[in-house]
Chain A
Amino acid sequence: MKSVKLAVSAAALIAASASVAAAQEQVQVAGSSTVLPYATIVAEAFAENTEFQAPVVEGGGSSAGLKQFCEGVGGNTIDVANASRQIKSSEVETCAANGVANIIEVQFGYDGIVFASDINGPDFVLTPADVFGALAAEVVVDGEVTANPATNWSDVNPDLPEQAIMAFIPGTKHGTREVFEEKVLLAGCEETGAMEAFAEANGGDEDAAEAACMSVRTDGASVDIDGDYTETLARIASNPNGVGVFGLSFYENNTDKLKVATINGVTPTVDSVASGEYPVSRPLFFYVKKDHIGVVPGLKEYAEFFVSDAMAGPGGPLAEYGLVPDPQLADVQATVADEATIQ
């Protein structure tokens, strides 16, 4: 049985080579799916313009990436974690407990979050208060806290189109959801004065009032999308009444299918987000293990390349894709150059 012998010897060969599995040759990155496209653009350009191998970039979400990041130092642990939110102090503690004590935090730009609807539908001119009134679980009607009665956008604000409320918002596992809750629902809640009514109803408990502000109606008018923006886009295609929440860069790639809503009269663009005029945006981060610098070839060079003017600056490939460049990019570059860690 020649073939069996051959197979067995090949198996032995694999087993033998397993023991000489070479040290990690390229940078390993994982984390936020919002940061993923930017990281892949950088990885590709990095490999193209330097002597180093292209980093391997995985998605999986901010929390999953940071969890993996904090598993330890060396071996098969990842070198960089992408995140669409800042690292939590509990995560820093976990990291420290596992020996990942020196973390470099790099904030490389901003991402806008937009509301968009079908291109053939009516225009939406929204304010956080409108969105709160349309999507909150409970609203204040005549001084009373009641379950949200609105069925049409025009019920919330007569200036809005007479169209049934149908919203596709990111599910709770997404970092985008947090931003949506804080920058839109909470802001709208405070604006309309519902916050005080909630606090009163809860006996002055501010935290409970905030939670009430950020809870989304569950009667079917708002649908949580646990997939990514392509799923939201597909939902809007099959339901032209729908209004979806997207990242600015995703919208910019699909302007032929989507119509964007203004918030407080400001149209979301890279410029209006950068200037802070457009209110719903968030910073994007990546975290680097300092202890891996010098061990993993190209790690520091990758981080420096990521925040270089040529990549993350205005007019660079990241801005071309939809990143809002950080106005303080020079400071960020200094942080990376000095390998300054978070305390």
Chain B
Amino acid sequence: MTDVTDTAAFGPGGERHTSGSLLTESARTRKRNAAEKRFKAYGIGAIAIAILSLVFLLTSIIGDGASAFRQTYASIPVTLSADVVDPDGNRDPEEMSGVYSMSYGSLLTDSLRNWIEQEGIQIEGLTDADLSGFFSNEAQASLRNQVLDNPELVGQTVEMTALTSSRVDGMFKGRVSEESASRDAKTSVAQFQLAEAMRENGTLVTRFNSSFITKPDASDNRAEAAGIGVAILGSLYMMLIVLVLALPIGVAASIYLEEFAPKNRFTDIIEVNISNLAAVPSIVFGILGLAAFINFAGLPRSTPIVGGLVLTLMTLPTIIISTRAALKSVPPSIRDAALGVGASRMQTVLHHVLPLAMPGILTGTIIGLAQALGETAPLLLIGMVAFVSTYPGAPPAGFFDPASALPVQVYNWTQRADPAFFERASGAIIVLLVFLLCMNLLAIYLRRKFERRW
């Protein structure tokens, strides 16, 4: 290593280079450069595949689900004939509530028939079934509620904006075409033409569907009325329970393990077990929840409390692992300084280490919560895949009321017969993805804002 020029002229193999210029590439250099280019290309390829699949996923979900946020309504004058609404004519609310919502269907059918005559719309082959199947069954129910709330309306004609059936709605979302309508037992070409005519007339409008987000699930007969209100509440309640239980337990466990626990075989076993628990399939927690919380502790099925407890168990390892990493990343000099000025170990941890570790802990918690929010498998076993059409009450009592959850609602809807549910399932996925995105953004924001580097 005495003669610099000499060693530079020899390659690692000891071979003498004839062309020593840096400007002309030797075969070896070219090979190395090519290998590097290939390596980069693999990386770009991997990212391209990931982006392509993400784009494919998002376009297919948004393509299928965006229409769930729009819904078709028709406003026509409805005559609340007393013969149907109050057959005994006493205007007694008690008696009138004995008339089931199914009977109100004829009011809508008759009113629609009259309206068509008045407007002079001529459609060939329009049957009674086309007319009665035009409006959603939900419209009957809301008409009934309107009458019971306000018995003076009996006998009058009111302008009503009614939800149309899922087939009519599908005509304006590309789900039902004139051709498919001709083969479809639940609609017909005449109904299709009537809907077109009403659309031109301005009676039929497709507008933003806020009830998709607020209303509870609906039965198979009223796909057009189904919403994710109960599922959002159920998911929210479960996340609250997870947050309130998993965060303190997880942080306390991590602080003890990281700052106080002696390093011995026992804590090693605990450590291995925590890492193992993080990898346990979530369905196992569902079985555990069924056995421990429902069968043994006697908590009610299909309730956010049980779901929340199961998800807490599932999220704990994630929170403990990320909290321990956050505590570890606080430099020992801070602990030493605090101890050096006479702080107790508890003071050191609570006043100095924990605040500095907070951003990491919160990020881990939010990621854990996001994971729990999208979890379906354990909830299947504890009865969350139920048809729940009433909102749970306000917490804490509402934690014990039956509720659904977002991912479970998606699962539920993909199994229903009416194609309109498929659109709604995709719509619910969009909502779920938006929630997950917000949570992850919050995690990134917290980390950026509060993270300190040494």
* A and B: bona fide binding partners: yes
Residues of A bordering B, CB below 8 Å:
1, 4, 7-8, 10-11, 13-14, 17-18, 21-22, 24-26, 28, 30, 33, 36-37, 39-41, 43-45, 47-49, 53-54, 56-60, 75-76, 119, 228-230, 249-250, 252-256, 310-311, 316-317, 320-321
Tell whether, in the assembled complex, residue B415 and residue A4 are in contact, meaning their CB atoms are under 8 Å apart: no
Identify B244's interface contact among A14, A41, A49, A321, CB under 8 A.
Answer: A14
Q: What are the residues of chain A within 8 A of B416 when measuring CB–CB?
A: 37, 230
Tell whether, in the assembled complex, residue A40 and residue B220 are in contact, meaning their CB atoms are under 8 Å apart: yes
Tell whether, in the assembled complex, residue B396 and residue A316 are in contact, meaning their CB atoms are under 8 Å apart: no
Tell whether, in the assembled complex, residue B419 and residue A254 are in contact, meaning their CB atoms are under 8 Å apart: yes
Tell whether, in the assembled complex, residue B396 and residue A45 are in contact, meaning their CB atoms are under 8 Å apart: no
Q: What are the residues of chain A within 8 A of B222 when measuring CB–CB?
A: 44
| Between-chain CB contacts (< 8 Å), 24 pairs | A1-B354, A11-B245, A14-B399, A17-B397, A18-B299, A25-B401, A28-B301, A36-B387, A37-B417, A44-B218, A45-B101, A49-B100, A49-B144, A54-B389, A56-B402, A58-B386, A58-B387, A75-B298, A76-B294, A228-B415, A230-B415, A253-B418, A310-B100, A317-B102
Tell me if B268 is interfacial: C-beta within 8 Å of chain A.
Answer: no
- What's the least CB distance linking B424 to chain A, in Å? 14
Q: Which 7 A-B pairs have the closest CB atoms?
A: A37-B220, A253-B417, A40-B219, A256-B180, A57-B387, A255-B185, A41-B219
CA distance A40 to B144 in the complex (A): 20
Identify A317's interface contact among B137, B299, B390, CB under 8 A.
Answer: B137
Tell whether, in the assembled complex, residue A119 and residue B102 are in contact, meaning their CB atoms are under 8 Å apart: no
Identify B396's interface contact among A14, A228, A250, A253, CB under 8 A.
Answer: A14
* Chain B 146-171: CB-based contact to A (< 8 A → 1; otherwise 0): 00000000000000000000000000
Report the count of interface residues on B (CB-CB < 8 A): 55
Q: What are the residues of chain B within 8 A of A21 when measuring CB–CB?
A: 299-300, 400
Tell me if B315 is interfacial: C-beta within 8 Å of chain A.
Answer: no
Identify A44's interface contact among B97, B305, B389, B418, CB under 8 A.
Answer: B389
Tell whether, in the assembled complex, residue B350 and residue A43 are in contact, meaning their CB atoms are under 8 Å apart: no
CA distance A22 to B396 in the complex (A): 12
Tell me if B414 is interfacial: C-beta within 8 Å of chain A.
Answer: yes
Tell whether, in the assembled complex, residue A58 and residue B385 are in contact, meaning their CB atoms are under 8 Å apart: yes
Tell whether, in the assembled complex, residue B218 and residue A316 are in contact, meaning their CB atoms are under 8 Å apart: no
Q: What are the residues of chain A within 8 A of B186 when measuring CB–CB?
A: 252-253, 255
Identify A56's interface contact among B144, B218, B386, B415, CB under 8 A.
Answer: B386
- What's the least CB distance linking B223 to chain A, in Å? 9
160-199 of chain B: CB within 8 A of chain A:
176, 180-181, 183-186
Q: What are the residues of chain A within 8 A of B402 when measuring CB–CB?
A: 26, 56
CA distance A228 to B320 in the complex (A): 39
Identify A119's interface contact among B183, B243, B390, CB under 8 A.
Answer: B183
Q: What are the residues of chain B within 8 A of A53 when measuring CB–CB?
A: 390
Using A7-B244, A40-B219 as known contacts, say yes or no to A76 and B389 having CB atoms under 8 A apart. Answer: no
Give the nearest-CB partner of B182 in chain A.
Answer: A256
393-411 of chain B: CB within 8 A of chain A:
396-397, 399-402
Tell whether, in the assembled complex, residue A24 and residue B305 are in contact, meaning their CB atoms are under 8 Å apart: no
Tell me if B141 is interfacial: C-beta within 8 Å of chain A.
Answer: yes
Q: What are the residues of chain A within 8 A of B144 when measuring CB–CB?
A: 48-49
Tell whether, in the assembled complex, residue B247 and residue A44 are in contact, meaning their CB atoms are under 8 Å apart: no
CA distance A11 to B252 in the complex (A): 14
Give the nearest-CB partner of B97 in chain A.
Answer: A49
CA distance A40 to B386 in the complex (A): 10
Q: Which of A11, A14, A311 has the most CB of B within 10 A?
A: A14
Given A76-B299, A253-B419, 9 other A-B residues pairs in contact with their CB atoms under 8 A = A4-B251, A11-B248, A22-B397, A41-B219, A43-B219, A54-B389, A230-B414, A255-B183, A321-B220
Q: What are the residues of chain B within 8 A of A119 when measuring CB–CB?
A: 183
Give the nearest-CB partner of A318 in chain B.
Answer: B221
Tell whether, in the assembled complex, residue A41 and residue B141 are in contact, meaning their CB atoms are under 8 Å apart: no
Tell whether, in the assembled complex, residue B417 and residue A22 are in contact, meaning their CB atoms are under 8 Å apart: no
Identify B388's interface contact among A36, A41, A54, CB under 8 A.
Answer: A54
Tell me if B302 is interfacial: C-beta within 8 Å of chain A.
Answer: yes
Tell whether, in the assembled complex, residue A1 and residue B305 are in contact, meaning their CB atoms are under 8 Å apart: no
- What's the least CB distance linking B216 to chain A, in Å? 8
Tell me if B383 is interfacial: C-beta within 8 Å of chain A.
Answer: yes
Give the nearest-CB partner of A51 in chain B.
Answer: B97
Q: Which of B144, B294, B302, B386 has the most CB of A within 10 A?
A: B386
219-253 of chain B: CB within 8 A of chain A:
219-222, 241, 243-245, 247-248, 251
- What's the least CB distance linking B283 to chain A, in Å? 15
CA distance A54 to B141 in the complex (A): 14
Tell whether, in the assembled complex, residue A56 and residue B388 are in contact, meaning their CB atoms are under 8 Å apart: yes
- What's the least CB distance linking B359 to chain A, in Å? 14
CA distance A50 to B444 in the complex (A): 49
Give the nearest-CB partner of B402 in chain A.
Answer: A56
350-396 of chain B: CB within 8 A of chain A:
350, 354, 383, 385-390, 396
- What's the least CB distance linking A38 to chain B, in Å? 8
Tell whether, in the assembled complex, residue B388 and residue A316 are in contact, meaning their CB atoms are under 8 Å apart: no
Give the nearest-CB partner of B300 in chain A.
Answer: A76
CA distance A244 to B17 in the complex (A): 74
